[in-house]
Amino acid sequence: MKAIILAAGRGTRLASEAADLPKALRLANGRPLISYVLENIDFLEPKDICIVVGFLGEKVKQALGPAYHYVEQTEQKGTAHATQYARPVFGDYDGDIMVLYCDMPLLSRNTYLRMFREHAQSGAANTLLAAHIHPIPPFGRLIRDENGQLIRIVEESACTPEEKLIDEVNVGIQVLDSQLMWAYLGQIDNDNPKHEYYLTGIIDVMVRDGLKQHVVHTARLEETWGVNNMEDLRLVEEELRVLGNRTQA
């Protein structure tokens, strides 16, 4: 098993730039956001993890040390575009690969492991983490066919009024067959309001070729929280303190 962590963001709304830090190193309860993510995927060896850095990427490397692979995203054009930067590291690997984010410190070790396990058991080309959330957040909506099969993800900005009512939303983490992922990443288009290449776009092109998709749900909604602004950070810090207190008890 391998993992690609997308960690090239600036963290503008977190005042990270003012602190001369990339988003990955923004502190939550005194620890960098990415440190929680790495702790929760500690079932993987550092050599099996590639971190995609960008803004102030050297600081990420210095903070985390040389045990991990690093690649630099020189321009940001979406999550699929960012993932492709890891191909020189893992391009020859034939197995399951997870793509995840540096700013989701509440996603648990058990959920990451469950995604790998269900992906292997299902025989899917792609496994996605989702949740049913009310009120519905501005996340991508899962679109299913008449048989209940996942056929695509529609981002909030591109949703029709009817699609905005769908409460099954994309959390963002995916596990894919690595060789299929590299083959299909180049087929994703940027026909969306932001003209970005989203990793979820791989679902569309895989479905066209009859490849199976699988969805894992998390019932613990705190796991879906990413840190994009100061209010997000406050909520996450509060939840991390609660989890820390439970662990100590």
* Beta-bridge mates of residue 80: none
DSSP strand E in the chain: where?
2-7, 27-28, 31-32, 49-53, 69-72, 96-101, 126-132, 141-144, 150-154, 168-177, 213-217
CB 51 within 8 A of CB 59: no
pTM, full prediction: 0.94
Number of neighbouring beta carbons within 10 Å of residue 169: 20
Per-residue model confidence as pLDDT tens digits over 178-187: 999 999 999 9
* Beta-bridge mates of residue 100: 5
From CA 152, how far away is CA 174, in angstroms rounded?
A: 14
Q: What is the structure's pLDDT at 193? A: 79
Number of neighbouring beta carbons within 10 Å of residue 243: 14
Active site residue 13: yes
Contacts of 64 (CB under 8 A, 6+ apart): 34, 38, 51
Q: What is the structure's pLDDT at 195? A: 87
- Which candidate in 10, 13, 31, 152 is catalytic? 13
CB 21 within 8 A of CB 56: yes
Q: What is the structure's pLDDT at 81? A: 95
Per-residue model confidence as pLDDT tens digits over 8-32: 988 778 877 667 889 999 999 999 9
* Beta-bridge mates of residue 215: 128
Number of neighbouring beta carbons within 10 Å of residue 153: 23
Residues 194-215, mean pLDDT to the nearest whole number: 94
Q: What is the structure's pLDDT at 194? A: 82
pLDDT band at residue 243, thresholds of 50, 70 and 90? confident
Tokens of 88: 């020189």
Q: What is the structure's pLDDT at 15? A: 74
CA 89 vs CA 8, 33, 72, 94, 167: distances in Å = 17, 24, 12, 12, 37
- Residue whose pair of structure tokens reads 């988003």 in the numeric block: 23
Domain spans of the chain? Answer: 2-248
Tokens of 96: 């399951």
pLDDT at 68 over 70: yes
Instruction: Output the CATH code of domain 2-248.
Output: 3.90.550.10
Report percent pLDDT > 70 for the chain. Answer: 97
Average predicted confidence (pLDDT) for the chain:
93
Which three-class secondary structure string do you get for 186-245? CCCCCCCCCCCCCHHHHHHHHHHCCCCEEEEECCCHHHHCCCCCHHHHHHHHHHHHHHHH
From CA 223, how far away is CA 31, in angstroms rounded?
A: 18
pLDDT at 57 over 70: yes
Per-residue model confidence as pLDDT tens digits over 105-138: 999 999 999 999 999 999 999 999 999 999 999 9
pLDDT band at residue 73, thresholds of 50, 70 and 90? very high
Per-residue model confidence as pLDDT tens digits over 155-170: 888 899 999 999 999 9
